Chains A and B, each alone.
Chain A
Amino acid sequence: MIGALICQIVLSIALATIFLFRPSLTSGTGWKIVAFIGLCVLPALCLIGGMNLHVQRSETTRFCTSCHVMVPYGRSLAIDDAAHLPAQHFQNHRVPADKACYSCHADYGIYGPLNDKMRGLTRLYLQYVSTAPDPAAIRIPGGFKNAQCLHCHQGARSFEENPIHTAMMDSLKSEQVSCLGSGCHDAAHDIANLSHQKFWNPGK
Chain B
Amino acid sequence: MKAPKINSLRLLQISSGILILGLILEVVTLLWFHPLSFVLFAFVAAALIGLGILIYLAALALVAAPPDRQS
Contacts and interface: CB of A to CB of B under 8 A. Distances in A.
Interface of A: 2, 5-6, 9-10, 12-13, 16-17, 19-20, 23-24, 26, 35-36, 39-40, 43-44, 46-47, 50-51, 53-54, 57-58, 62-63, 66-67, 120-121, 124, 127-128
B9 A63 contact: no
B14 to A, nearest CB: 9
Interface of B: 9-10, 12-13, 15-17, 19-20, 22-24, 26-27, 29-30, 33-39, 41-42, 45-46, 49-50, 52-53, 56-57, 60
B28 to A, nearest CB: 11
Contact of A40 (B17, B37, B42, B53): B53
A58 B9 CA distance: 39
If over half of B's interface residues share one DSSP class (helix, strand or loop), that class is named, otherwise mixed; here it is helix
Contacts of A46: 23, 26, 49
A20 B38 contact: no
Given A50-B41, A54-B38, A57-B33, A39 B52 contact: yes
Contacts of B34: 66
B46 A51 contact: yes
A66 B49 contact: no
A19 B41 contact: no
Contacts of B13: 19-20, 23
B35 A63 contact: yes
Contacts of B12: 19, 23, 26, 35, 39
